[in-house]
Amino acid sequence: MSNPSYVTINADRVWLRHMDLSETGITACGGVHRPALTAEDIQAHVKISEWAAARGFDVELDAIGNMFICRAGSAPSATPVGSGSHTDSQPYAGRFDGPLGVLTAFEALEALEDAGVTTTRPIEVPIWNNEEGARFLPGLSGSGAYTGALDLEQMLDCVDCNGVTMRSCVAQLHAALPTAKNRELGQPYAGFVEAHIEQSTILEDADEIIGIVTDIQGNRRFDVKVTGENAHSGTTPRARRKDAFVAATDIAVALREVFWDEEDVARFTIGMFEVLPGAKSIVPGEVNFFIDFRHPSKEALKELGDQVEVIAQRRAGPCTVSVTQVSGAAPLRFSDKVTDLIAASAERHGLASRRMISCAGHDARHFVSICPTAMVFIPCWKGISHNELESAEPELVAAGAQVICDVLVVIAGWA
Ligand code: GLV
Ligand code: MN
Ligand code: MN
């Protein structure tokens, strides 16, 4: 292997790209509302594809709506190196969750182009479709279908809350990018690295700049449906009620107690709760809610996660309850080969760093079974994320871009 041709990224440019991209779907509070494959998300893809075309990079699009920016290497048939993330957002969320991973990698391509450096392997910046899962469930569906972890046809048949299929939205994305080349799913990578904001406060509290992400915690997600009986709220005495709200809240409180741990490691969230028929004077006959449970330990995921069904049945009162696990992922470990490269880059630039676990899910998860993979975190303000106030400092964005660029250059030279 020849010595890597390290290049210096352009700190101003990578920041301006972030500010420019966040105009697409910007909210009154300065965040972004850009759920997957909405007009705003498609516009974000078009914008990045125009930047790519202006730099002479190829743009490719696959059947699940992943877009790839490709910079050729000197060995064009060599397996490429990848670094990317997503442009879709949670509803009314932030400017950096996703775009940071796309735009730091895009900056690496631009910096290599400016320096006239040709890497041996091609380097690609994928934009994975529907990472957040906010519009179509499950999330990470673009990277999942690409790597074979999820079924393409099942994903395309997913519908959003208005009955719109992902298939029809992917067709709109293809129509908006008529010159993009077709890309086969599953083409291999020699390595994959993704930059992301930390979305917590460990780096910020320690005044550190680079998180070397060694692991991602696991998760289990459940749909819970409680069925009672609609009744008149004025005339129906307690003894005759089958109040689905009462049963669902009893279940929720009992679950909160079971999942409460002294160490504050288990992450238990009920973020969606639907009361039906949703009328002021009807005892509700149906409640649906969604549980997002995450934990770094495989055993805890099993033991605590299995309690959802047990507690739900025990606390249903006169109602009936059904619990369906809709998705799950085991905790995983990233590649030491790639985390060592991240650590070496941070050291080279004098950036304080630490090895750490990711508590959020990321597209990089799906690449662990395909190629050496890891992630780079930078701090975000007060750890705030999935919130319009999400923010990151320009110099931290630049530090992340520099580390991504260094790592890509080294992997692009791997034999
Ligand atoms: C991704 O945003 C997640 O919810 O972990
Ligand atoms: Mn993200
Ligand atoms: Mn997110």
CA 274 – ligand 3 centroid, Å: 22
Ligand 2 centroid to Cα of residue 379, in Å, is 14
**How crowded is residue 171: how many other Cβ atoms within 10 Å of its Cβ?**
14
Residues flanking ligand 1, CB < 6 Å? 132, 360-361
What pTM was estimated for this model as a whole? 0.94
197 secondary structure, DSSP code: E
Task: Using the mean position of ligand 3's atoms as its centre, give its distance from the Cα of residue 132 in Å.
Answer: 5
The per-residue pLDDT for 415 is: 79
Q: Is the peptide bond before 138 cis (omega within 30 degrees of 0)?
A: yes
pLDDT tens, position by position, 81-107: 999 999 999 999 999 999 999 999 999
Which residues are close to ligand 3, an ion, with C-beta < 5 A? 97
Which numbered atom of ligand 1 lies nearest the CA of 361?
5
Two tokens, residue 343 = 């650590």
Nearest atom, ligand 1, residue 90 CA: 2
173 in helix, strand or coil?
helix
CB crowding 54-77: b at 16 or more within 10 Å, else e: eeebbbbbbbbbbbbbbbebeeee
Query: Which residue lies with its CA nearest to atom 2 of ligand 1?
Result: 132
Tell which atom from ligand 1 comes closest to the C-alpha of 292.
4
Ligand approaching nearest to the C-alpha of 35? 3
Distance CA 408, CA 405 (A): 5
pLDDT of amino acid 330: 96
Which residues of the chain have a pLDDT value below 70?
Answer: 1-2
The pLDDT of residue 76: 84
What secondary structure does DSSP assign to 94-151, as a single string?
Answer: -SSTTHHHHHHHHHHHHHHHHHT---SS-EEEEE-TT-S-SSSSSSSHHHHHHHTSS-
**Closest by CA position to 402, among listed 108, 122, 120, 127:** 108
- pLDDT single digits (tens) 347-395: 999 999 999 999 999 999 999 999 999 999 999 999 999 999 999 999 9
Q: Which of ligand 1's atoms lies nearest the C-alpha of 385?
A: 2
pLDDT at 3: 73
